[in-house]
Amino acid sequence: MILIDANNVHKTFGGQPVLRGLSFTVERGEHIGLVGANGAGKTTLLKILTGAETPDEGGVSVPSSISVGLLGQFPKYPDGTKGSDVIGAFEYETDFTRVCRGLRLDKTLLNGDMSKLSGGEQTRVNLARLLLKHTDLLLLDEPTNHLDLRVCEWLEEYMSGYKRTVVAVSHDRYFLDKFARRIIEINGGKAEFYSGNYSFYAEEREARRVERERIYDKEKREYDKLSASATQMHAWAGKNAKMHRRAFAMEKRAARILKTEKPQTERLLKGSFSETGFYDDDVYRLEGISKSFGERKILDDITLDIRGGERVALLGDNGSGKTTLLKIMLGELEPDGGRVWRGPSVKTAYLPQQVTFEDTSRNLVDTLLYELDVTPTTARNRLAAYHFTGDKVFDPISALSGGERSRLKLCIITARDANLLLLDEPTNHLDIASREWVESALDGYEQAMLFVSHDRYFIEQFATRIWWLEDGIIRDFRGGYDEFTAARKNEARKEKQNTPRRETVQAQSESPLQRQRRIEQEANRLEKEIEQAEIELFDIGERIKAASYDAAALVGLLEEQSELETKRDGLYKQLESM
């Protein structure tokens, strides 16, 4: 069954055409990744699908009998709206438990005012609402934005087994690889289709570009040959009308040959780093670093070092202290204890998460003249290498998007001598093409790098070492992101499998009669504890039924139920093993 039928959709904003005859269909149960450059019309299309926007021409058909849910990038709620108010009713408690655990929604968050929650917290609450409603058609606009890595991993696993229809706009290439079964790219206002995930799309897109270039070059050679012959024939014809007619016919034939548009090749950033050679192994050393805010300890006695040429990914949940550690390393924040040692010849370049400039009224050329003390020609050449060309270089910084500001800052810091690069979410706000541009610029950097990122594709490409920050402590893992994830899952599996042995030296040395009595006493104790756990579970079950429409209270009860079930199951295992 076709759930979406878009036919010849046109949409213009401010006189600029965004969608130009876009057509596609989506079948029930499909998982579609919707990709394209920023401004290509992806969010506009989602709004058209929900009826929030109407096309200027063409139409979109969605059966009225199906339910449609949209996860917008920037949802707004009136003051006083709680997270539990957003979720509302749901059908199955097991679904509620699974979704709330996976999205890490606790009582505090569900009781919190939505208008005061962070972007990531709002996204998690809204995702829970949509997933628990069992919407027929789910439209997601950047669902992994602001989410912790572990929540992203859970969402990927959940969505890969999701039976309903999903169309997701995302720049998260890992998410698209795990979730999408088909990619629709909006390019030039029209749709191109790829029957696979992101990796398939990236490979197939390049293959198609190469083939289009081959066909275009062949057509262009034939066109040029016929055009030149026609021009020569006109020159020879003089007053010979018949020969002129033959030349005109040849020109018409040449015009019919050009059927393929010239492929638009995405240029990679040409910018390269100005590096100061670093020959000492020790770049940075953290010795006993501690930091607290109030009663909360963010960093607890951290001792680590970075050596020349290493690429370290600093990962962890939101609010775990990653940016705090970067600021301590930069000297912008003093630790409560410990010290930071930096090699005497180390020169640091820093790309912050929130890019700011001293004067946003300056245009791009003047900004480079001020920041780098270069000639106007050098400034324009450097800007061109980072895709700032034409009149764009005379725009004020205030007119730039978040992604453009990050690109401009990268353009500046790469011009400075640096042998340690500190990056805080370098691909935030960037579309896939821009992320690839940044990666191409960083790829040639051979000195030490420490970066914070939620972009797992970026992490896997660059990291040779993982620092996982949790509860104030850093776990140091030497390897890439995929290796780290596999190791973490393997450890969790082993921990689950390993149960403590109940036999002790004392038990092994006791007499058969003593052992019999001890086992009977232990069995009686376990049976009483199991009976008590069952009574408590029955009581909690009744309280859960009474609180079925109070999401915040239900989270706490379900957590308590889960803990008791785990305890009871453990008691049963002990009893069975006797």
Q: Residues 414-447: pLDDT tens digits? A: 788 788 899 998 887 778 887 887 888 788 788 8
Between 184 and 269, the higher pLDDT residue: 184
The structure tokens listed for 423 are 């990056």
Element (H, E) at 102: helix 93-102
Query: Given this model, what pLDDT does residue 28 score?
Result: 94
pLDDT of 354 over the 70 cut: yes
In terms of phi and psi (left: phi > 0; alpha: psi -120 to 50; beta: otherwise), the region of 460 is alpha
Q: What is the pLDDT of residues 443-476, one digit of tens each?
A: 878 889 999 999 999 999 999 999 999 999 999 9
The DSSP letter of residue 196 is S
Residues 232 and 22: their CA atoms lie apart, in Å, by 42
Sheet with 182-187, strands from edge to edge, namely 68-71, 137-141, 165-169, 31-35, 182-187, 190-194
Residue 503's pLDDT is 46
Lowest-confidence range among 91-95, 110-114, 275-279, 310-314?
A: 275-279
Which whole number is the average pLDDT over 523-531? Answer: 81
Q: Which two tokens stand for residue 130?
A: 């949509």
Per-residue pLDDT, 526 = 80
Whose structure tokens read 């500190």?
Answer: 422
Q: How many residues does the chain have?
A: 578
Q: Higher confidence at residue 259 or residue 324?
A: 324
At residue 166, the pLDDT reads: 95
Q: Say how far apart CA 175 and CA 115 lie, in whole Å.
A: 27
pLDDT classification of 510: cutoffs 50, 70, 90: low
| Arithmetic mean of pLDDT, 359-385 | 92
Alpha carbons 569 and 563: distance in angstroms, whole number: 10
33 contacts 179 by C-beta, under 8 angstroms:
yes
The secondary structure of 457-488 as a DSSP string is HHHHHH-SEEEEEETTEEEEEES-HHHHHHHH
Per-residue pLDDT reduced to its tens digit, 63-119: 989 989 888 755 677 778 888 888 886 666 678 888 888 888 887 888 888 888 877
Q: 14-24 as b/e, with b when 16 or more CB fall inside 10 Å?
A: eeeebbbebeb
Number of H helices and E strands in the chain, helices first, is 19, 18
Residue 12: per-residue pLDDT: 92
Q: What is the mean pLDDT of residues 266-275?
A: 54
Looking at residue 277, its pLDDT comes to 57
Please say whether the beta carbons of 139 and 4 come within 8 A: no
- pLDDT score of 295 more than 50: yes
Q: Where does 264-394 have alpha helices with state H?
A: 322-330, 364-372, 376-385
Give CA separation, 250 vs 226, 247, 254, 537, 542, in Å. 6, 5, 6, 88, 87
Separation CA 29–CA 279 (nearest Å): 56
Contacts of residue 577, defined as CB under 8 A and 6 or more positions apart, other chains included, come to 502
pLDDT at 31 > cutoff 90: yes
List the beta strands (DSSP E) in 317-364. 337-342, 348-351
Going by their DSSP bridges, the two strands 165-169 and 2-13 should be labelled as unpaired
pLDDT at 271 over 60: no
- For residues 68 and 510, the model is more confident at 68
Position 233: which residue type?
A: M
Rounded Cα distance, 92 and 97, in Å: 9
- Encoded tokens for 266: 């995405």
Show the CA angle centred on residue 70, arms to residues 66 and 75, nearest 5°: 150
Q: Say how many C-beta atoms besides its own lie within 10 A of residue 389's C-beta.
A: 11
* HEC secondary structure over 292-312: EECCEEEEEEEEEEEECCCEE
d(CA 139, CA 152): 17
> What pLDDT is stored for residue 193 in this prediction?
94
Average pLDDT, the chain: 85
Q: What is the pLDDT of residue 359?
A: 93
- Using the predicted structure, report yes or no on whether residue 164 has a pLDDT greater than 70: yes
Structure confidence at residue 433 (pLDDT): 82
Q: What does each C-alpha distance from 159 to 30, 66, 193 come to in angstroms? A: 11, 19, 21
What 3 state SS string does 201-224 have? HHHHHHHHHHHHHHHHHHHHHHHH
Task: Determine which helix (DSSP H) or strand (DSSP E) holds 194, and give its type and residue range.
Answer: strand 190-194
Nearest Cα to 422, choosing from 337, 290, 335, 322? Answer: 322
Q: In what order do the strands lie in the sheet with 16-27?
A: 16-27, 2-13, 57-61
Is residue 505 over pLDDT 50? no
Q: What percent of the chain has pLDDT over 90?
A: 35
**Residue 504 pLDDT > 90, yes or no?**
no
Q: Tokens 């600029």 — which residue?
A: 16
Distance from C-alpha of 535 to C-alpha of 77, rounded to nearest angstrom: 41
| pLDDT confidence bin for 273, thresholds 50/70/90 | low
